[in-house]
Structure 1
Amino acid sequence: MTALPDLVLFAKYPVPGYAKTRLVPALGAAGAADLHRRLAERTVGILLQAGAPVEVRFAGAEEAAFRQWLGDGVRLIAQVEGGLTERLIDAARDHPHIFFGADTPDLDVGVVASARAELQNHDIVIGPAEDGGYYLIGMRQARPELLTDMPWSTDAVLRETLRRCDALGLGVALLPTLADCDRPEDLARWPQLEAPGRCA
């Protein structure tokens, strides 16, 4: 039986002025942090429903604060210092794992199940984001060469990742394209997100 992949979520503590700062012009610091809180809680719930081990790589508060916030169902590990490359490489492992962010309101259990299934038959699984990046990437084993010197936060991330996979001869499965909620203009897609206490 194929081992279940670890589902690894990267999350900040929902502190105003620290989480979802690009949404502050639209929501205010407290509103942006609250949105991040709701999205992270929703994502954790979806990952737990998927039935594989869930790990949260956390930043912005102590482990106890995250445990009180997210409960006992997840493994908690502090993110290392450094940029996204360093944080991802530190979280990689030599068995199947899938990295997630908490910025994809349309992520659902079906997408996570598809990622798990595709990883059984492919080296890499990617959930493309509309902005040219990805909302998840799964690997059967650590692939630091896909994470080093990447043009993060640009529309070239997915294209460059696929180019490197092709050069390395890696089999890649692509999931449906979804949108991230990162910028004020993204909020129009999900009007329910602007209402505190609601995150469908």
Structure 2
Amino acid sequence: MLNLPAISKQHLIIFTRYPEPGKTKTRLIPALGTVGAANLQREMTEHTRFHVQELQKVIDISVEVRFAGGDSQLMQDWLGLDLVYQSQGEGDLGSRMARSLFEAFQSDATKVIIIGTDCPGVNAQILETAFEKLHSFDMVLGPAIDGGYYLIGLRQPIPELFVNIEWGTAQVFQKTVDIAQKLNLSYVNLSPLADVDRPEDLPIWEQALAREMEK
């Protein structure tokens, strides 16, 4: 068992990447350039962190950042000392998510949710709802409009949900639902939200910022 800091029964894992130019948001480089794409990665992660902090004012959760690129020191310098940082490690996205879930449950969590930072519509209310749904369902999923998902929550590790899936394709959400049905898992879907992955998605981010400014 890993020597991780104590975590709450309700545990949130944020998957992100250190914003190094040329290595992040690569599909947006044609529109934004390497530095612009990295800056967007930085801003979107900070946006997610803000909403997670709002959630922590309402419910008792522990938060962990699983990062790719960079190192723990760079992540701390960027996002602060009050978060737990762990490298995502090797393997495809599925194996990295499955590993992070397994380790959280090993550390006595009873509800674990993973989110990315690509979906500016994720807010404290949606996250609170997701944790509430895990009282009643084995799995909660947040479908992304592009066919993936922006959130997955479980009450126990279920590695089958993360294998034989072509990550980054439009079939990810449906394939995950199909696996859940074969395993007889009870599940519930949250509201569909849009990812920001491609140049044509940039207005989604700009609209999200405008809404934040209005509050």
**Structure 1 and Structure 2 fold alike (TM over 0.5):** yes
Q: Which residue of 1 aligns with 2:155?
A: 140
**Are 2:98 and 1:83 equivalent residues in the alignment?**
no
> How far apart in 1 are the matches of 2:133 and 2:189?
9
SS in structure 2 opposite 1:150?
A: coil
Q: Which residue of 2 aligns with 1:189?
A: 204
Q: Which residue of 1 aligns with 2:43?
A: 38
Structure-2 change in CA distance of 1:30 and 1:192 (3 Å): farther
> Greater shift after overlay, 75-84 or 185-194?
185-194
> How far apart in 2 are the matches of 1:54 and 1:190?
24
> How far apart in 2 are the matches of 1:193 and 1:119?
27
The CA deviation at 1:194 is 9.6
Match of 2:111 among 87, 91, 96: 96
Q: What 5-or-longer segments of structure 1 have no aligned partner?
A: none
TM-score where L is the length of structure 2: 0.86
- The answer to whether the Cα contact below 8 Å between 1:4 and 1:116 also exists between their aligned partners in 2 is no
SS in structure 1 opposite 2:86?
A: strand
Q: Which residue of 1 aligns with 2:74?
A: 65
**Are 2:130 and 1:115 equivalent residues in the alignment?**
yes
> How far apart in 2 are the matches of 1:22 and 1:156?
19
Q: What 5-or-longer segments of structure 2 have no aligned partner?
A: 1-7
Match of 1:151 among 146, 160, 166: 166
Identity, % of aligned pairs? 41
SS in structure 2 opposite 1:55?
A: strand
Equivalenced residue count is 195
> How far apart in 2 are the matches of 1:137 and 1:149?
17
> How far apart in 2 are the matches of 1:63 and 1:49?
24
SS in structure 1 opposite 2:65?
A: strand
> Greater shift after overlay, 79-88 or 22-31?
79-88
Q: Which aligned segments of 4 or more residues in structure 1 are displaced greater than 2 angstroms?
A: 188-195
**Are 2:16 and 1:6 equivalent residues in the alignment?**
no
Structure-2 change in CA distance of 1:112 and 1:151 (3 Å): same
- The answer to whether the Cα contact below 8 Å between 1:35 and 1:193 also exists between their aligned partners in 2 is no
Q: Which residue of 1 aligns with 2:3?
A: none
The CA deviation at 1:48 is 2.5
> How far apart in 2 are the matches of 1:183 and 1:98?
25
> How far apart in 1 are the matches of 2:88 and 2:206?
31
Structure-2 change in CA distance of 1:31 and 1:192 (3 Å): farther
- The answer to whether the Cα contact below 8 Å between 2:146 and 2:170 also exists between their aligned partners in 1 is yes
